[in-house]
Amino acid sequence: MPSKLTVALALGLLAGIATAYIALSVPDPSAPQITATAGKPAIGGPFSLINTAGQRRTEKDFAGKPMLVFFGFTNCPDVCPSGLQTLTVALNELGDKANQISTLFITLDPDRDTADTLSQYVKSFHPNIQGLTGTPDEIQSAIKAYRVYAVKVPDEKDPKRYNIDHSSFFYLMNANGEYTKHFPHSTDAHVLAKALAAAL
Ligand code: NI
């Protein structure tokens, strides 16, 4: 039979583990808001958008291949260009295998990012990156589905101009369109390339 001291020590140890666990569970404010539903994070889902050729595209059009989804806007001063540059390096590293993954850049700025603007922009990075836009409502639904944070911030010097503060993660979805993992836009291109190759 355990002595009172042993029980006390064991309880103390458990309390310590619990405290450490709680400390580790403090959410990282920079991480996307992930809510688990029946064991699967609720990121992704149906969307209906317009590609740069003016064709309607839904998640069903991309089924059967892993998908990397990135949200941003063409006027973004630094975050989107650096993220897309990283993605370009990763896709180049994959070579021909880059065709086996759908790479989507969904605009957060449907008012300014027309199919044409978006087309020029994504082409300047990598030919495999597909730009998607839509009506403000359609974009809002996609933003909601992927739990993206995006807020318009008016330019102090010129109220007609605005920036968009936004979270910027690459969301890796499997061939069934289910969330697998995400990477910050600042991720290392080789790490991203390896993860994409492993997803094929
Ligand atoms: Ni951006």
CATH code, domain with 190: 3.40.30.10
Q: Residue 76: which of 39, 108, 102 has the closest Cα?
A: 108
Q: Could you tell me if residue 18 is inside a domain?
A: no
Q: Residue 88: which of 189, 200, 191 has the closest Cα?
A: 189
Q: Could you tell me if residue 157 is inside a domain?
A: yes
Centre of ligand 1 to C-alpha 55, Å, is 24
Look at residue 55 and give its three-state secondary structure.
coil
Centre of ligand 1 to C-alpha 99, Å, is 25
62 pLDDT band, cuts 50/70/90, is very high
Q: Could you tell me if residue 161 is inside a domain?
A: yes
Render pLDDT for 73-122 as a digit per residue (tens, 0 to 9).
Answer: 999 999 999 999 999 999 999 999 999 999 999 999 999 999 999 999 99
Which tokens is 43 given?
């990121």
Domain coverage including residue 125: 48-199
Render pLDDT for 33-44 as a digit per residue (tens, 0 to 9).
Answer: 555 455 666 899
8-state DSSP, 189: H
Residue 48 exposed, middle or buried by CB count within 10 Å (0-12, 13-18, 19+): middle
Query: Regarding predicted confidence, which is higher, 157 or 171?
Result: 171
Q: Could you tell me if residue 17 is inside a domain?
A: no
Query: What average pLDDT is seen over the chain?
Result: 86
Contacts of 96 (CB under 8 A, 6+ apart): none
Average pLDDT over residues 48-60: 96
22 pLDDT band, cuts 50/70/90, is very low
- Rounded to two decimals, what is the model's pTM? 0.80
Q: Could you tell me if residue 193 is inside a domain?
A: yes
Centre of ligand 1 to C-alpha 9, Å, is 52
Give the helix/strand (H/E) hosting 138.
helix 136-145
Centre of ligand 1 to C-alpha 78, Å, is 6
Question: Crossing angle for the helix pair 189-199 and 79-94, nearest 10 degrees?
Answer: 50
Instruction: Give the CA angle between residues 76, 79, 85 to the nearest 5°.
Output: 105
Beta pairing partners, 78: none
Structural domains in the chain (count) = 1
Centre of ligand 1 to C-alpha 113, Å, is 13
Centre of ligand 1 to C-alpha 185, Å, is 9
Q: Could you tell me if residue 16 is inside a domain?
A: no
